[in-house]
C-alpha cells in the first residue's frame, strides 16, 4: 500500500505504508509492507499510558469522569472545552497548570490555531495536545504519593509504571522496548507494529478506558480531525488513535481486531488516509468523505492534484 501525491494525472510523490492487522492472540490477519517494522508508538500509546489510572485505582479515587479519561488518551485540538476539562482534571488531583511539563505548540486543528492567533491567545502547557495525558500522569503520581516533579523522566516511577503497562499489553519485555524522548517530553516506546496492533486488539478488555474513548470521539482529537471523523462514522465500532511521524492505530471493537500502521516517511495526512482505507477494507464502510482523498490546491485556489491511497491489504 502506498499513498500517492498526484499532480495532474501523474504521481509526483509516494508515501510507503506498513500495516499489521492482528487478532487478540497476535495472529496476523492481514498486512502490507513490513508488519514487523520497529518504530515509535508516539501518541498512539496514550490509551496504555492512561490505563494505570484505572488499574491502580486513581480514576476511582479522584472521581475521574469518562470525559477526563478520554482526554488522558487524546491528542486533543486545544479547543476551549477540551482545555477546560484538563484544567478540571488538574484541580481534582490538587495540581495546576504550573505542574505540567509539556511544552506549548500551535493547536493541531488549523481552525483552532487560526482562531487563537487572531485573538493573540498565549499558548501555555495546558494547550498542548498532550495535556490530558500529562494531567493523568500527575494524577497517577498523586495517587501513589510519588513526587510530581520531573514526572517525564524515564527513571521517574510514573514513567516506569507506564513502561510496564506498555510491556504487559504488547508482550514486548521492558528491556526490549526502545525508549526515547517524545515531542512533549515523556518517554516514548519503540516496538514492532505487530505488537502495537495486538495491544489494540486486546484493548477491548480495558472496559473503562474503551468506553470513555468510544463515548467521546470529539475529545480523542477534535472537530474536523481524522480520529474523530473515523470514530463518528462508525459509532461504537472503532477507536482510531493517531501518533506523530506517520503512526496510526485502531481497534475494531466488534471484530476484536487491532491495526497498527506506519507511513515510512512520517507523513501525517497520508497516515490518516491509509487508516481510513484499512478500516474500510476491514468492513467499516464507507470511509468518511473527508478521508477518501485530499485535494491539492495551489496558491491560486486551483485544484492541481490529490493525495490518495493506492493498493490494499494482503492476507
- Only one residue has cell 500551535, namely 106
Give the shortest CB-142-to-its own copies separation in angstroms.
22
For residue 104, give the 3-state DSSP assignment. Answer: coil
User: Cβ atoms within 10 A of the Cβ of 217, count?
Assistant: 24
Give the shortest CB-32-to-its own copies separation in angstroms.
17
Give the shortest CB-104-to-its own copies separation in angstroms.
6
Give the shortest CB-315-to-its own copies separation in angstroms.
27
Angle between helical axes of 80-92 and 131-144 (0-180°, round to 10): 10
Give the shortest CB-30-to-its own copies separation in angstroms.
23
What does the CA dihedral 148, 152, 155, 161 come to, rounded to 10 degrees? 80
* DSSP string for 250-311: EEETTTTEEEEEEETT--HHHHHHHHHHHHHHTT--SPPGGGTEEEEE-TTS-EEEEEEEE-
Give the shortest CB-215-to-its own copies separation in angstroms.
29
Cis peptide before 209 (omega within 30 of 0): no
Q: Which is nearer to its own copies, 128 or 253 (CB)?
A: 128
Q: Which is nearer to its own copies, 71 or 213 (CB)?
A: 71
Q: Which is nearer to its own copies, 61 or 105 (CB)?
A: 105
Angle between helical axes of 157-170 and 131-144 (0-180°, round to 10): 110
Interface residues with its own copies (CB under 8 A) are: 5, 7-10, 12-16, 38-40, 101-105, 128, 178-185, 188, 190, 245-246, 264-267, 298-302, 304-305
Nine cell digits for residue 24: 487478540
Give the shortest CB-115-to-its own copies separation in angstroms.
15
Q: Which is nearer to its own copies, 108 or 239 (CB)?
A: 108
Q: Which is nearer to its own copies, 76 or 216 (CB)?
A: 76
Angle between helical axes of 226-233 and 268-281 (0-180°, round to 10): 10
Q: Which is nearer to its own copies, 243 or 288 (CB)?
A: 243
Q: Which is nearer to its own copies, 170 or 253 (CB)?
A: 170
* DSSP string for 201-239: HHGGG-HHHHHHHHH-HHHHS-TT-HHHHHHHHSTTTEE
Amino acid at each position: 500500500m502506498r499513498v500517492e501525491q498526484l499532480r495532474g494525472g501523474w504521481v509526483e510523490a509516494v508515501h510507503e505504508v506498513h500495516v499489521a492487522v492482528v487478532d487478540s492472540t497476535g495472529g496476523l490477519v492481514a498486512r502490507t509492507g513490513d508488519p514487523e517494522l520497529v518504530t515509535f508508538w508516539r501518541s498512539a500509546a496514550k490509551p496504555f499510558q492512561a490505563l494505570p489510572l484505572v488499574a491502580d485505582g486513581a480514576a476511582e479515587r479522584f472521581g475521574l469522569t469518562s470525559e477526563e479519561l478520554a482526554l488522558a488518551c487524546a491528542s486533543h485540538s486545544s479547543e476551549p472545552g477540551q482545555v477546560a476539562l484538563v484544567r478540571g482534571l488538574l484541580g481534582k488531583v490538587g495540581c495546576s497548570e504550573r505542574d505540567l511539563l509539556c511544552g506549548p505548540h500551535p493547536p493541531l486543528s488549523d481552525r483552532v490555531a487560526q482562531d487563537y492567533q487572531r485573538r493573540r491567545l498565549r499558548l501555555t502547557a495546558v494547550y498542548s495536545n498532550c495535556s490530558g495525558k500529562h494531567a493523568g500522569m500527575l494524577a497517577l503520581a498523586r495517587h501513589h504519593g510519588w513526587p510530581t516533579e520531573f514526572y517525564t523522566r524515564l527513571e521517574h516511577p510514573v514513567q516506569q509504571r507506564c513502561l510496564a503497562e506498555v510491556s504487559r499489553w504488547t508482550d514486548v519485555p521492558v528491556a526490549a522496548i526502545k525508549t526515547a524522548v517524545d515531542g512533549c517530553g515523556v518517554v516514548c516506546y519503540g516496538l514492532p507494529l505487530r505488537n502495537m496492533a495486538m495491544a489494540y486488539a486486546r484493548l477491548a478488555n480495558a472496559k473503562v478506558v474503551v468506553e470513555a474513548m468510544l463515548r467521546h470521539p470529539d475529545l480523542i482529537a477534535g472537530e474536523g480531525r481524522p480520529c474523530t471523523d473515523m470514530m463518528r462514522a462508525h459509532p461504537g465500532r472503532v477507536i482510531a488513535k493517531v501518533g506523530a511521524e506517520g503512526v496510526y492505530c485502531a481497534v475494531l471493537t466488534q471484530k476484536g481486531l487491532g491495526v497498527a500502521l506506519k507511513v515510512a516517511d512520517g507523513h501525517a495526512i497520508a497516515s490518516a488516509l491509509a487508516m481510513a482505507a484499512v478500516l474500510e477494507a476491514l468492513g467499516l464502510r464507507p470511509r468518511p468523505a473527508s478521508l477518501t482523498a485530499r485535494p491539492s490546491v495551489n496558491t491560486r485556489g486551483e485544484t492541481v492534484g490529490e493525495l490518495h491511497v493506492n493498493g490494499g491489504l494482503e492476507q
